[in-house]
Chain A
């Protein structure tokens, strides 16, 4: 089974990288760009066929390690 995990900075937390990229895009003439947020994309191969178990294990991985829930949100998708 393949899992895709997305980790993003919480909406109310400043994202200096996103702001810098937004500034760069504006200076290049892409004036239509509003807010930019940068996050992380992780691909995990899971050695299981039990979807429910995979979901609960993934949630634990996100809470414990993959995201810092003080400042980040996460979501994941499961395939296969």
Chain B
């Protein structure tokens, strides 16, 4: 299974994503520059955190028009796995691959600390190694992670089981609607989340709860491709 880590000018979690893939599941992974126009050889695409294009205008607003984004949209349409983390989540909402938007944190502060998340949907490509309702410890680092969508969209998210992660009740760090920390598209092959699983892949980093996101992805891919399932 082959991974791409998209690199925009201003991405700063690209190396963490790359190393997380190497260290957790040992699959081939490449950095792919924002000018790339072909992602056909990749099975999963990681859109990493950072401050793409300086977050000018709005977070993700300019990155969304980078040449590589046409290919990310194409890959998503083909059913390939796309995971946007932090700034990557913002880019995916701007690109219309995920509904809603990320607003300024209600505290007006950049929040950088570990956060407890509830796995709301473990029936996804990205979360099949977690138990339903499991509480996991994944760090956050963002100033604009306050998820918002209108009532109609929220009803759809709930009806289709698209809320993947919530901040633990009473510990919402940014004011996001219904404590939402991560969502998927309707098909379930695109997920965006503000917390950073790639920063939680070893106890030395304070938590290894993020590891299973990567093993989930590999498992899902192997199941789809009839290969042996990773234990």
Contacts and interface: CB of A to CB of B under 8 A. Distances in A.
Interface in B77-115: 93-94, 99-101, 103-108
A39 to B, nearest CB: 12
B61 A16 contact: no
Contact of B61 (A9, A14, A17, A65): A65
A28 interface: no
A33 interface: no
A20 B108 contact: yes
A68 B101 contact: yes
Nearest to A23: B108
Nearest to B144: A16
B54 interface: no
B106 to A, nearest CB: 5
B219 interface: no
- Please report whether the interface of chain B is mostly helix, strand, loop or mixed according to DSSP: loop
B57 interface: yes
A70 to B, nearest CB: 4
Given A66-B57, A68-B61, A71-B148, A16 B104 contact: yes
Interface in A15-45: 16-17, 20, 40
A52 interface: no
Interface string A38-80: 0010000000000000000000000001101011000000000
A70 B149 contact: yes
Contacts of A13: 103, 148
Contacts of B94: 68
A17 B146 CA distance: 13
Contacts of B31: none
Contacts of A71: 101, 103, 148
A71 B58 CA distance: 11
B192 to A, nearest CB: 14
A16 B57 contact: no
B58 A68 contact: yes
A14 B94 CA distance: 19
11 contacts: A14-B103, A14-B106, A14-B146, A16-B104, A16-B146, A17-B104, A20-B108, A66-B57, A68-B61, A68-B94, A70-B150
Interface of B: 57-58, 61-62, 65, 93-94, 99-101, 103-108, 146, 148-150, 175
Interface of A: 9, 13-14, 16-17, 20, 40, 65-66, 68, 70-71
6 tightest A-B contacts by CB? A70-B101, A71-B101, A16-B104, A16-B106, A20-B108, A16-B108
